[in-house]
Amino acid sequence: QVQLVESGGGLVQAGSSLRLSCVTSGRTFGINAMAWFRRTPGKERDFVGGISWSGGSTWYTDSVEGRFTISRDSARNTVYLQMNSLKPEDTAVYYCALRTSTFSRSPAAYEYWGQGTQVTVSS
């Protein structure tokens, strides 16, 4: 089993920054990719960004490109989502997820999920 624990969410004003963390534990052997998704009430989880387990490749959805950065600290088994220039439309519950196969933008492709952390951006 693999466990994921997110942290770092909160309430901020538009234009501010936040850094989300996702700590992984358990059987991490065979993991190929990690991703961040977000969900707003009444909607499905949307892809935000992803990173290969090696950390060599990253992917982002268009709306966060240039504002959000994903990184990984292998020594701490932690993946980060640095969010800058936050906008009210970034308000959502943010989830990290793990996949044992190649990267995918589909939430259905991910086997393990964290519990989520709330990010609220006020205007």
Is the CB of residue 103 less than 8 Å from the CB of residue 32? yes
What percent of the chain is predicted at pLDDT more than 90? 80
**27: pLDDT strictly greater than 90:** no
Is the CB of residue 55 less than 8 Å from the CB of residue 74? yes
Nearest to 81 by CA among 62, 94, 100, 63: 94
Is the CB of residue 35 less than 8 Å from the CB of residue 47? yes
* 60-64 long-range Cβ contacts below 8 angstroms, 24+ apart: 61/105, 63/89, 64/90
- pLDDT tens, residue by residue, 56-110: 899 999 999 999 999 998 888 899 999 999 999 999 999 999 999 889 999 999 9
- pLDDT tens, residue by residue, 50-68: 999 877 899 999 999 999 9
pLDDT at 29: 74
